């Protein structure tokens, strides 16, 4: 039987823990809101980009100007670059481990190719470094508040490697924010760029520059944007996962507290009963 | 024909401007583009430069760095890599950047380096121009 003092001490420590997890949940809720605002702010740009690209691609295709664009060149996938967007910190349930499992499966499926990994986020870097993967780069400290120029730098490096034929394909693995309850794992090929299908409504633009030339400047931006959007999705999903994990931890702590309180009361009652029996039997012995 | 049109200026990080304007002037790569309401659909790449627009009788200036413009159905949508309102521009810093870029151009060894330096010069110059034109505007009015 644990002593009363031990039980009180444990209850106090679990209560402290619960306060911390509650606070962490609240912090993540606030950060989630900020991350989503940032994601919403990037939507107009992304929307316009998508439509312009669709139209320019169709126009360039019709004049066969797409043939010599290096970012559209499809090669046999002998050397594959995988970008994994993880988080810097943990405490978010299966957020990172699910992502790594997907990345691992991707690696297993492409065992014939030479695989290189670009790790964004500390957790991913540690994971792949421990397993002796071929890491081409690591980016720690950018996922918390993603800035466009940081995404652009990563993208430009990927584009350079692709253009110089150091890699034959670039894939991007990240958690997408779907709902607060469950993130959605995504794996996308970002290079070579797969042009969107023809627009339903073809706009007859006046082209100041030939469509092919426009496409040449549009494509790198499109890749940059995709990485930037992935970073934004990932950070939203991260805070959502962390909120869920901390909420579970808080209610778990609540269960532990009520169990311990029940035991405490039983122990206390038992000792009172024992004392009464002692007094009564003492009195009986005297009488 | 409507005499105003919707001008949207978006950077990847946020929507900069979204309002009805009378006239806009954009730094197209092949020269300045003046746009009024009812313009035909147009697509153009933009160079670093000054974007100005007129809302009622007030003119505003922005320094933008590259990107695209799409004109379609009385909407002018500018996708800029970077944008800054003239009143947010730190003139001293821009001047310093301009000097640094000139130095970089002088010491540039290869073509990509001098290209980057030229781009930096154009960017800094655009910021200075935007600031100068907006202060000139307020002084004359």
Is B1 near chain A, with CB under 8 Å? no
CB contact residues (below 8 A), chain B span 58-77, against chain A: 67-68, 70, 72, 77
Is A42 near chain B, with CB under 8 Å? yes
| pLDDT for res A198 | 62
Task: State the Cα–Cα distance between residues B21 and B53, nearest whole angstrom.
Answer: 7
Residue A149 resides in a domain: yes
pLDDT band for position A92 (50/70/90)? confident
A75 or A272: which leads in pLDDT: A272
Residue A119 resides in a domain: yes
Interface probe with B: pick from A48, A54, A57, most Cβ of B within 10 Å? A48
Of A48, A147, A148, the CB nearest to B79: A48
Of A42, A56, A228, the CB nearest to B43: A56
Contacts for A21 with CB less than 8 Å, ≥ 6 apart: A246, A249, A250, A253
DSSP class of A166: S
CATH code given to domain B90-135: 1.20.5
Residues A51, A160, single domain; the answer is yes
Q: What are phi and psi of B64, to 5 degrees?
A: -125, 160
What's the CATH code of the domain at A9? 1.10.287.80
Provide, rounded to the nearest whole percent, the portion of chain A with pLDDT above 70.
96
Contacts of A205 in chain B (CB under 8 A): 41-43, 70, 72
Find the residue in B nearest to A41 (Cα): B14
Residue A96 resides in a domain: yes
Out of A82-96, A221-235, B123-137, pick the least confident: B123-137
Residues A254, A230, single domain; the answer is no
Contacts of B70 in chain A (CB under 8 A): 48, 51-52, 205
pLDDT band for position A259 (50/70/90)? very high
C-beta neighbour count of A75 within 10 angstroms: 12
Contacts of B14 in chain A (CB under 8 A): 41-42
Contact state of A42 with B13 under an 8 Å Cβ cutoff: yes
Residue A193 resides in a domain: yes
| pLDDT for res A230 | 92
Q: How far apart are the first and last CA of chain B?
A: 30
| pLDDT for res B140 | 43
The domain locations on chain B are 5-86, 90-135
Residue A56 resides in a domain: yes
Task: State the Cα–Cα distance between residues B62 and B52, nearest whole angstrom.
Answer: 6
Is A214 near chain B, with CB under 8 Å? yes
Q: Residue A95's closest CA among A235, A250, A248? A: A235
Contacts of A212 in chain B (CB under 8 A): none
Is B79 near chain A, with CB under 8 Å? yes
Out of A130-139, B43-52, B74-83, B119-128, pick the least confident: B119-128
Stretch B26-44: mean pLDDT, rounded? Answer: 87
Provide, rounded to the nearest whole percent, the portion of chain B with pLDDT above 70.
95
Residues A154, A191, single domain; the answer is yes
Contact state of B11 with A45 under an 8 Å Cβ cutoff: yes
Q: How far is B141 from chain A (nearest CA, A)?
A: 34
Residues A93, A139, single domain; the answer is yes
- State how far Cα A92 lies from the chain centre: 10
Partners of residue B67 on adjacent β-strands: B46, B80
| pLDDT for res A256 | 95
Contact state of B11 with A225 under an 8 Å Cβ cutoff: no
Per residue in A102-117, pLDDT tens? Answer: 999 999 998 888 889 9
| A14: three-class secondary structure by DSSP | helix
Task: Kindly tell me if the per-residue pLDDT of A135 is higher than 80.
Answer: yes
Q: What's the angle, vertex CA A207, arms to CA A206 and CA A211, rounded to 5? A: 140
Residues A107, A120, single domain; the answer is yes
Residues A208, A278, single domain; the answer is no
Is A106 near chain B, with CB under 8 Å? no
Per residue in A4-43, pLDDT tens? Answer: 899 999 999 999 999 999 999 999 999 999 999 998 888 8
| pLDDT for res A70 | 81
C-beta neighbour count of A279 within 10 angstroms: 10
Of A41, A46, A214, the CB nearest to B43: A214
| pLDDT for res B141 | 38
Tokens of B45: 């790449």
Average pLDDT, chain A: 88
Residues A210, A107, single domain; the answer is yes
Task: Kindly tell me if the per-residue pLDDT of A266 is higher than 70.
Answer: yes
Interface probe with B: pick from A208, A228, A232, A233, most Cβ of B within 10 Å? A208
| A218: three-class secondary structure by DSSP | helix
pLDDT band for position B1 (50/70/90)? low
Residues A135, A268, single domain; the answer is no
Residue A134 resides in a domain: yes
Residues A139, A229, single domain; the answer is yes
Q: Residue A232's closest CA among A141, A145, A134, A125? A: A145
Contact state of A49 with B28 under an 8 Å Cβ cutoff: no
| pLDDT for res A16 | 95
pLDDT band for position B137 (50/70/90)? low
Number of domains present in the structure of chain A: 2
Residues A249, A223, single domain; the answer is no
State yes or no: ipTM above 0.85: no
Of A46, A48, A221, the CB nearest to B70: A48
Per residue in B66-113, pLDDT tens? Answer: 888 989 888 899 998 888 888 888 888 888 888 888 888 888 788 888
Is A213 near chain B, with CB under 8 Å? yes
pTM of the complete model: 0.85
Residues A50, A172, single domain; the answer is yes
DSSP class of B70: E
Average pLDDT, chain B: 83
Q: Name the CATH superfamily, with its identifier, for domain B5-86.
A: F0F1 ATP synthase delta/epsilon subunit, N-terminal (2.60.15.10)
Residue A169 resides in a domain: yes
User: Domain range holding A282?
Assistant: 4-22+245-286
Residues A203, A256, single domain; the answer is no
């Amino acid at each position: 039987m644990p002593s009363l003092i031990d039980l009180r001490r444990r209850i106090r420590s679990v209560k402290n823990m619960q306060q911390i997890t509650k606070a962490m949940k609240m912090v993540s809720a606030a950060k989630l809101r900020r991350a989503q605002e940032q994601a919403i702010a990037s939507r107009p740009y992304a929307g316009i980009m998508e439509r312009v690209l669709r139209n320019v691609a169709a126009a360039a295709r019709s004049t066969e100007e797409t043939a010599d664009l290096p970012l559209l060149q499809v090669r046999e996938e002998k050397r594959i670059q995988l970008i994994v967007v993880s988080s810097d910190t943990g405490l978010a349930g299966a957020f990172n481990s699910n992502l790594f499992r997907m990345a691992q499966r991707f690696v297993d499926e492409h065992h014939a190719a030479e695989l290189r990994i670009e790790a964004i986020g500390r957790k991913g870097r540690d994971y792949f470094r421990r397993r002796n993967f071929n890491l081409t780069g690591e980016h720690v400290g950018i996922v918390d508040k993603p800035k466009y120029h940081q995404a652009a730098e990563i993208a430009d490096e990927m584009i350079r490697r692709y253009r110089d034929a150091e890699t034959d394909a670039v894939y991007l693995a990240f958690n997408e924010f779907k709902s607060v309850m469950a993130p959605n794992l995504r794996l996308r090929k970002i290079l070579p760029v797969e042009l969107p299908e023809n627009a339903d409504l073809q706009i007859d633009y006046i082209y100041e520059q030939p469509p092919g030339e426009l496409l040449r400047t549009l494509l790198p931006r499109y890749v940059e944007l995709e990485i930037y959007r992935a970073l934004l999705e990932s950070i939203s999903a991260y805070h959502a996962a962390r909120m869920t994990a901390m909420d579970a931890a808080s209610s778990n702590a609540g269960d532990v507290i009520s169990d311990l309180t029940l035991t405490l009361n039983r122990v206390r009652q038992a000792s009172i009963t024992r004392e009464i029996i002692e007094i009564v039997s003492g009195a009986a012995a005297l009488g | 024909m409507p005499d105003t049109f919707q001008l949207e200026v978006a950077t990847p990080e946020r929507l900069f401007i979204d309002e009805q304007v009378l006239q806009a002037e954009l730094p197209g790569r092949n020269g300045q583009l003046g746009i009024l309401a009812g313009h035909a659909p147009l697509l153009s790449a933009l160079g670093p430069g000054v974007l100005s627009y007129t809302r009622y009788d007030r003119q505003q200036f922005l320094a933008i760095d590259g990107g695209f413009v799409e004109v379609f159905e009385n909407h002018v949508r500018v996708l800029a890599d970077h944008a800054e309102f003239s009143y947010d521009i730190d003139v001293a810093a821009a001047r310093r950047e301009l000097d640094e870029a000139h130095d970089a151009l002088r010491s540039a060894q290869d073509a990509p380096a001098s290209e980057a330096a030229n781009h930096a010069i154009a960017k800094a110059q655009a910021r200075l121009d935007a600031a100068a034109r907006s202060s000139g505007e307020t002084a004359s009015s």
